[in-house]
Amino acid sequence: MSEKVKYEIEIPIQASPTLLYQYISTPSGLSEWYADNVNSRGEIFKFIWDGSEEQAKLLTKKNGERIKFRWMEDEDESYYFEIRIQVDEITKDVSIIITDFAEEDEIEEGKMLWENQISDLKQVLGSA
């Protein structure tokens, strides 16, 4: 298995950081845009897409700011994905910053997937 490479994308979004945090940090919020269904039991989150299921462990969560998960089937514990809310101090513009890992030849695909997911989130929030 080849090494995965860390990448980040930043996507501006017109939404209140407080509301946004509910959509990135709760199973019901994540079910609205990230997966068909999300359940959690403690720090284990179960993401369901078209009948397939992936489990992720909640690594860190900072209220109103960020959430970080690691896929359970990822043997390498240094890989994770993080969704972070960033507010520009001057303009008050809100962005979502995604940090994720992918194999080198899959980075563009990974970015496109995230952009599609965030596009769904924008529609749910009515900020598209």
C-alpha–C-alpha distance, residues 22 and 125, integer Å: 11
Can you give the pTM of this predicted structure? 0.92
- The total number of structural domains in the chain stands at 1
Task: List the Cα angle 63/68/71 in 5-degree steps.
Answer: 150
Q: Looking at the domain assignment, is residue 96 inside a domain? A: yes
What letter would DSSP give residue 3? P
C-beta separation of 67 from 58 below 8 A: yes
Helix 107-125 vs helix 17-25: crossing angle, to nearest 10: 120
**What residues of the chain score a pLDDT lower than 50?**
none
Q: Looking at the domain assignment, is residue 45 inside a domain? A: yes
Q: Looking at the domain assignment, is residue 110 inside a domain? A: yes
Q: Sign of dihedral through CA atoms 58, 61, 64, 66? A: negative
Q: Looking at the domain assignment, is residue 128 inside a domain? A: no
For 36-56, write each residue's pLDDT tens digit: 999 999 999 999 999 899 999
Could you list the residue range(s) of the whole structural domain that residue 11 is in?
4-123
Q: How confident is the model at residue 19, as a pLDDT?
A: 94
CATH number of domain containing 22: 3.30.530.20
C-alpha–C-alpha distance, residues 106 and 59, integer Å: 24
Structure tokens at 79: 């890989």
Q: How confident is the model at residue 127, as a pLDDT?
A: 78
For 63-76, write each residue's pLDDT tens digit: 999 999 999 988 78
Q: Looking at the domain assignment, is residue 8 inside a domain? A: yes
Q: How confident is the model at residue 95, as a pLDDT?
A: 97
Q: How confident is the model at residue 1, as a pLDDT?
A: 54
Q: Looking at the domain assignment, is residue 105 inside a domain? A: yes
C-alpha–C-alpha distance, residues 58 and 25, integer Å: 10
C-beta separation of 79 from 7 below 8 A: no
Calculate the dihedral angle through the C-alpha atoms of 16, 65, 29, 73, rounding to the nearest 10 degrees: 150
